[in-house]
Amino acid sequence: MAGTIKAIRGMKDILPPETGRWQLIEQVAREVFDLYGYQEMRLPLLERTELFARSIGADTDIVAKEMYTFADRHGESLTLRPEATAQVVRAVLENRLERGFWVKKYYTIGPMFRYERPQKGRYRQFHQINCEALGTDAPELDAEVIFLLVDILGRLKIEQVRLLINSLGCPECQVDFKARLSLFLAAKEGWCDDCRRRRDTNPLRVLDCKSQRCQELLRPAPMMRDCLCEACAGHYARVLELLGRAGVAFEEQPRLVRGLDYYTRTAFEVAAVGLGSQDAVAGGGRYNGLARDLGGPDLPGLGFAIGEDRLVEILPPDCGQGRQEKIFLAALGTAAREVALALLQELRQQGLAGEMDFDDRSLKAQMSLADRLGATYTVILGDQELAQGQATLRHMATGEQEQVPLPDLAPRLLKR
C-alpha cells in the first residue's frame, strides 16, 4: 500500500485549538483597522511574475531565490505572491482607486509564499496582516500607521516588543549613500558570492545579507542617516517627534534596511522578545516611488505587514481559547434524545453553546464526554425525569445537582 501523503515542507496545517488564536488576532486587527478608517481587500494568491520582479527588485533574495514561479498552461509566467504591498498597489491602480483627494487605506489578510529554508518561525507558506495607506507623504501618516500597528499589538497584550526605526531617504539621498557604500564595499575582501555580485549591481542589498561574516564586515559601513537630504532628514525627525509625543517607545536603528527595493524614507520593524532568531513580528515602511514604478501616477504611500505565524507564538497563552460557557445534554433513550435535541436548538438560538451525544452511550460515558468537552452544566434527561416533566441540572465543577421543570430549563440556563 502506498504511504500517506504529507504536507509540503515549510507549509503547515493550522489546527484547532490554535485556530482560536488566529481568529482572535484577526478579529482584533479588523476592529483596529475599522477604527482607523481602513477597508479590507481580498486579492488573488497568484499574480504575473513581472509585478514582483519590477517592484521588489531583481537583486533581492525574494525575487532572486525565493519565489514560487511557474508557467501556466499558456506559458505565462505566474508567481504565488511573496508579499502583498505590490499587489495592493496593483489593485489600486487597476481599479482606479487612487482618484479623489483623501488618503486611501486598505488592509488584507492571507498567506504569502517564499521558498526559504524552513525553521522555527520561518515557513514557505506564512501569513500576513497587511496595512497600506496611499495618497500623502505627510509624516503624520507615518506616525498614524505606526500607532495602528502598536495599537493592534497592545490590544493583543503583546508587550515585550521593540520598535526599530530608520530612514532610507529618497532616491537622491540613496545615490549619495550608494556611492559611499560602494567605495566601502570595494575596499574590503571576504564578502560572500552574492554580495560580491551585489556590490556592483545593488550595493544596498549587501546590507541585508543573512551571512554572519558579511554582517561583521559591515559593522563600520557608512550609514544612511549621514546621507539624508534636508527634506528627508526633516521628514524623519518629524516622524520621531510625533511618535515621542504620543508616548510610543522606539529605538533608532541606523543599520535597518528592508529586504525589498521599493522602500524610501521611513522604515521600521517590530522585534519581539521570546521568538529566537526569527524575532521580527512586523515590518514596514514608505514606498513613495512604487506606484510610479508600476506604471501609475505619483502616489506616495506606506504600510506594514504583521507576520501572523510569529504573533500566534507570542500571544499570551490564555488568549483565543474560544467560548468558555458550554452546556452538555445527556439524554438516555430515544424519547429523551428528541426532547434534548429540541432544547439544544432553543439554547443555541438564544446564543448558548451546547452539545449532545447521538450514539446511545451510557450515562457514565456521557458524563465523561461532558467533562472532556468542558461543559459548565450538564442537563440529564432520562425516562423517569421525562415522565415527571423534569430534568436534572448538574453543575460540573461542584457536582451539585437539582431537579428543574423542563419549561424552566432554557430560561434558567440563559440567566446564568
Binding site for ligand AMP (CB under 6 A): 83, 114, 116, 121-123, 126, 128, 258-259, 280-283, 305, 307, 309-310
Alpha-carbon distance of 143 to 138, in angstroms, equals 9
Residue 304, SS3?
Answer: strand
Alpha-carbon distance of 196 to 47, in angstroms, equals 31
**Min CB(265)–ligand AMP separation in Å:** 16
**DSSP secondary structure code for residue 322 in this structure:** -
CB nearer to ligand AMP: pick between 222 and 259: 259
The closest of 132, 134, 112 to 123, measured between CA atoms, is 112
Q: Which residues pair with 404 in a beta bridge?
A: 391
**Min CB(59)–ligand AMP separation in Å:** 15
CB nearer to ligand AMP: pick between 66 and 357: 66
Determine the residue type at 392. T
**Min CB(165)–ligand AMP separation in Å:** 14
Residue 269, SS3?
Answer: strand
Cell numbers found for residue 187:
575596499
CB nearer to ligand AMP: pick between 265 and 310: 310
Helix/strand number for the chain, H first, E second: 15, 16
Determine the residue type at 217. L
**Min CB(15)–ligand AMP separation in Å:** 18
**Min CB(245)–ligand AMP separation in Å:** 26
**Min CB(89)–ligand AMP separation in Å:** 14
**Min CB(262)–ligand AMP separation in Å:** 11
The answer to whether 104 touches 134, Cβ cutoff 8 Å, is: yes
CB nearer to ligand AMP: pick between 129 and 181: 129
CB nearer to ligand AMP: pick between 55 and 366: 55
Alpha-carbon distance of 306 to 318, in angstroms, equals 21
**Min CB(285)–ligand AMP separation in Å:** 9
Q: Which residue is nearest to ligand AMP (CB)?
A: 307
**Min CB(289)–ligand AMP separation in Å:** 17
- Region of 59 on the Ramachandran plot (φ > 0 left; ψ -120 to 50 alpha; else beta): alpha
CB nearer to ligand AMP: pick between 137 and 309: 309
Peptide bond just before 17 cis, omega within 30 deg: yes
CB nearer to ligand AMP: pick between 69 and 390: 69
Q: Which residues pair with 48 in a beta bridge?
A: 78
CB nearer to ligand AMP: pick between 259 and 296: 259
CB nearer to ligand AMP: pick between 305 and 386: 305
DSSP string, 202-268: -GGGGGG---HHHHHHTTT---GGGG--HHHHHHHHHHHHHHHHTT---EE-TT---SSTT-EEEEE
